[in-house]
Structure 1
Amino acid sequence: MPFVRIDALRADAERLDALGRAVHDALQETIGIPPEDLFQVLNGHQGTNSTLRYGSYLGPDRDDGIVYIAITMRSGRTPAQKQTLYRRIAELAHTYAGAEPRNVFVTVTENTSTDWSFGHGVAQYAGSAGT
């Protein structure tokens, strides 16, 4: 059950939707997330009252096309699976939303099953070994 937050500079609803689809499709393809497992927060920042900052750390020549993607999910994926996920997100973000791969910044935070509640104040995954 990934929880995804996407922040993009000067992104309208159409671009945000395309970015959300790119991430969800990549999660399905690379780590087997079910199609109905869709929990996302999509934010566009206009650049004045709300903006995103970026630097040139580790080389990419980023610009105002920056897209930050934060994924929280249960632990258990290998480094190779994560690398495949990052690559596929960048490819699909480019295909669906025109995002330059150099501007696609992804972070994954992992946790355990008891760190999730899907509602009703219940940790539905507690005691299970689900994905």
Structure 2
Amino acid sequence: MPFVRIDALGTDPARLDALGQAVQDALVETLGVPPEDRFQVLTGHDGVTGTLRAGDYLGIRRDDSVVFVAITLRAGRDAARKRAVYRRIAELVHERTGTEPRNVFVTLTENGDADWSFGYGLAQYAPAGGGPAGALSG
């Protein structure tokens, strides 16, 4: 059950939707996330009331089509699977939106079972007095 935030500059609803679907498809393909586990915040910035900044860190020259993808998910994936998801996100974003892979910035933040509440003020993966409820999917 990853929680995904995507930020892009000067984008329209169709591009935001394509970005969200590309990330979701990459998570399903590379990490085995169930397709219905889709929790995303998609934000387009207008450059005036909200904007994005990206330097040329590590020699990667980014421009105004930069896309920031922040994914929070439960811990447990090895480095190879993480590299696979980064690669697939960049491929699908390029394929579906034309955004150059150099402009796709992805970060993963891992946490534990007790760090999630899906509603009702409950920790569904770490119920009181018991083990985790639900399969590892996020």
Pick the TM interval, shorter chain: over 0.9
* Shift in Å, 1:120: 0.2
The one-letter code of the counterpart of 1:116 is W
* Shift in Å, 1:97: 1.3
1:49 alignment partner in structure 2: 49
**Alignment partners' CA distance in 2, 1:18 and 1:98:** 10
**Matched residue SS, 2:87:** helix
1:34 alignment partner in structure 2: 34
**Alignment partners' CA distance in 1, 2:29 and 2:39:** 16
**Matched residue SS, 1:71:** strand
- CA-to-aligned-CA distance 1:92-119 (integer Å, 9 cap, x gap): 0001111110000000000001100000
**Matched residue SS, 1:58:** helix
2:84 alignment partner in structure 1: 84
- CA-to-aligned-CA distance 1:3-56 (integer Å, 9 cap, x gap): 000000011100000000000000000000001000000000011111000100
**Alignment partners' CA distance in 2, 1:15 and 1:113:** 33
**Matched residue SS, 1:23:** helix
Over aligned residues, Cα RMSD in angstroms? 0.8
The one-letter code of the counterpart of 1:59 is G
The one-letter code of the counterpart of 2:103 is N
So what's the TM-score if we normalise by structure 1?
A: 0.98
Query: Across the two proteins, how many residue pairs are aligned to each other?
Result: 131
User: What 5-or-longer segments of structure 2 have no aligned partner?
Assistant: none
2:95 alignment partner in structure 1: 95
Which aligned segments of 4 or more residues in structure 1 are displaced greater than 6 angstroms?
none
Task: Tell which structure's C-alpha radius of gyration is larger.
Answer: 2
**Matched residue SS, 2:44:** strand
The one-letter code of the counterpart of 1:130 is A
**Alignment partners' CA distance in 2, 1:118 and 1:39:** 10
- The percentage of aligned residue pairs carrying the same residue is 65
**Alignment partners' CA distance in 1, 2:111 and 2:59:** 29
User: What 5-or-longer segments of structure 1 have no aligned partner?
Assistant: none
